[in-house]
Chain A
Amino acid sequence: MGRKLLLEKAHVEGIRYFDTYRREGGYRSVEKVLKTMAPDEVTEEVKKSGLRGRGGAGFPTGMKWSFLAKPEGIPRHLVVNADESEPGTFKDRYLMEHIPHLLVEGIIVASYALGSNTSFIYIRGEYAWIVDILEQAIQEARNNGFLGKNILGSGFDCDIHVQRGAGAYICGEETALLESLEGKRGNPRIKPPFPAVKGVWDRPTVVNNVESIAAVVPIINEGGEEYAKIGMGKSTGTKLISACGNINKPGVYEIDMTISVEEFIYSDEWCGGIANGKRLKACIPGGSSVPILPANLLLTTAKGEQRMMNYESLSDGGFQTGSMMGSGGFIVFDEDQCVVKHTYTLARFYRHESCGQCSPCREGTGWMEKLLLRLDKGQGKMSDIDLLWDIQSKIEGNTICPLGDAAAWPVAAAIRHFRDEFEWHITNAGEAQIRNFGLAHYADAREAVTA
C-alpha cells in the first residue's frame, strides 16, 4: 500500500472541525513556516519537492511561484482554483468536503510564501454546500488565530475569501477565473501578460489547484527532499485520482505514482476490476479532455513497457500512442460502451461550455457536435470522419485558451484509435442502433515498436 499524505486523516471522526484537525497534527506547517522560515525558503522547499500542478497541465508549482512578479507597493494574491468542472474529475470535492482545514492550512503557507495578504478560493457554483464547509473552516481558523492580523505573532496578515462561480466550465481556466473573480464575464484573457505579472485587478497573482495547495502542507511538514523521494522520476509525491466508469469501486484514491495502470484498475485496493465481469475496452486516464486510449495502449506503451500511473508514463508516446495525467479523472469503459456516443457526449459538453470568444472554438465545437450526433444516429457519411479530423486540427492550438485544445483532443484520439468503430457506425448504420461495436481488437496485444 502506497503512502498517503493528503487523505491519511480524511476519515478521522470530526476531522472537518478545527479541534480534531489540530489534535491530529494540523496547522504544524503554519507554525513551522511562520516561526522558522523566510518566504523564499518556503518557495525553495516547494521547488525541491518537484511538486507538479495538479490541475491538469502539470507545471511545476515551485517554478510558478518563483515567476511571481514582486513590484514594490502592489499587493499580490493567491487564488485557489476550486472550479473543478471537468467531467470525470471530482478529487478536489472529496478533499474539500472531508478535510477542508488541509486546504486552509495550505493556503496560509502558500500565501506566506507568495506574500499574499488576501487570498481567494474560487469554487464552482454547483459545489454550494462545500462553500459552507470552507467558510466554517476559515472562521474556525480565524477564531484560533491562524488567519487574520498578525498570525501567531509573526506580523504576517492573511485572510481568505470564498467566491462562488456561476456554473461555467470555462471559469476553471485561470485567466477566465480571474475575470470572473473580478465580477466580469468569464472570458479567458489573451496571454501575455501572464497572471504572475498581471492577474486579478492587474496585480501579480498565482492561481493554483486545490490539490497543489493542499500538497504544500506535507511538503513543509516532511521537507521538500523527503517529499521528492515519493513517486517516480519527475512525478513526485502523491496524486489524487478520481476513478469512475465501469469499475467495481469508483471513488477517490490517493496513489504514490509508482503503481501500474493495470494494478490500479484490477487491484482490489483500488478500482477492483471491471464491473459485472466484463472486459476493459478503453480508458480516459486524466479527465475528459485528455486523449482516450484503447485497452492495449493503456496497459502497455507502444514500446511494450508497462504503463505506470504517473505523468511521464501516461504521456509516453505523445498523442500518437499516449495520453496525459491531466487532472486525474480516471474514466474506465467496458466492452459494451460505444466510443462514438461517448465522443458525441464530450463534444456536446465542450460546445455548451465554449465561451464564444474566439471563432475556431465557438463555431468548431458546434460543428463537431452536429457531425458526431449524425454519426451516432447512423446517418453519417464516410467523409464525416475525415471532416471531423480536419475540424479538430483547425481548432487545436489556434484558440486563446486551452478549451479549444480540450475540445479537439478527445475527438482526435477517438478517431485515431477507434476509427473502425466510427466506420462501422456508417457501414452498418442499422445494426449500430441496436447493438454495440463491442471490444473488437482493442485489447489485443500490439506489436512492440522499438525505436
Chain B
Amino acid sequence: MTDTAQAPIVAPRSGPGSAGPWLLTWRRFKKHRLALVSGVVVLMIYFVALFAEIIAPFSTETYSANYTYAPPQLVRMFGTDAEGSTHLFYVNDYTVKIDPISLSRAFETDPNKVIPVGFFVRGEPYKLWNLFDWDVHLFGPQEKGHPFYLFGADRLGRDVFSRTVHGARVSMSIGLVGVTISLLLGIFLGGISGYYGGWIDESVQRLVEFLKSIPTIPLWMGLAAAIPPSLDPLMVYFWITVILSLLGWTDIARVVRGRFLSLRTEDFVVAARLDGCRQQRIIWRHMVPSFMSHIIASVTLAIPGMILAETALSFLGIGLRPPVVSWGVLLKEAQNILAVSSAPWLFLPGLAVVIAVLTLNFLGDGLRDAVDPYAR
C-alpha cells in the first residue's frame, strides 16, 4: 500500500510507471527472443494456412503420371535457358530413365534444362475460400505444365509441397477450433467449480480426475472409429475436433478454477461485491479480465497437443481421410517403409508438424512467463 494519506490521489494511467497490464505483458514478452521469433513463425504458418490456394503452386489433387516419386527440386538463381535468356529463379528439369525390369522411374536433374520460376504467375484456376475465382499463384513455373516439385512428388505424382501447404489449413485450424471448444467447456466448468465451490467443485474435480486417468489414445481411437466412414468430410472434421476437445478441456478448467479460487477473496472482488455488483458482472468484468492472459497462455500450450492428436489419428486411418488433406493424412503416405526408403521426402509434412508444434510450445512458454506483469 502506498501512503495515500499524504499524497493526493493520482489519476490512474499517467506517467511511464503506470502502463496497462497488456503493455507490461508485451514488454516482458518482447525480452523472450525465442518466444518472439516463434510467435512470428506461428503467425506465418496461420497466414499460409489462410491463403493456401494462393501460396501453393498446385491444387491438392493435381497429379502427373510422369512424375511419380519425383525427388525434390532445388530452386537456383540466375539460369540461362535454351533461348539464351537469363532467369532470376529457376529449377532444373528431370531426365527420366525407366527401369526395364521393375518399371520404376529413376529421376536425375538435368542441369542444362532450365524451368524458369516466377512470382505471381498464372497457373491452375481455383476458388479462394470457395468464394473468389482466381488463377494467380504466389510462385510457380512460368509456363503451365512444367514440373515444379519443391518437396518432391508422391506415389501419384502430386506435389508434396502444395499438399503440405493445403494441409496446414486443416491441421492448424483443427487446433484452433478444438481449443475454442475446450476453452468454452473449460471456462464454464472450471468457473462454476472455482466460483461456487462445495459439491459442484467436488463433482467437477472428480470428472477432471476421471478423464485424466483414462489413457487418451485408446479412448480417442474408440470414439474416432465410431464416426461412420460414409460421413461428409466436413462432419468428420467437426466430430474429430469435438472428440479431441472432449478430453482437452480439463487442463484449462484446472487453470480457471485455480484462478477463481485465488481471486474470490481478493480485495477488488470483495469490493465489487460490496458495491452491489451482480454476480455475472463480477465474473465477467472483474475476474475474467484479470486472468485472461493466463488463459491465453494455457490455450497456446493446448493447441500443439490437439495438432499432434489429429495427426496421430489421421495417420492411423481413423481420423480425417482423403480427399481431405491434413498433415496426418499426408504422413499416412509415409507409413509404408518401403515407399519411404525410396522417397524420404514423404516425411517433409512431418517437418511442418514439428515446426508448428515447436513454435507453438515456445510461444506458449514465453506467454506464460510474461503474463504476470505485476509479479516480482
User: Is the A/B pair a real complex?
Assistant: no
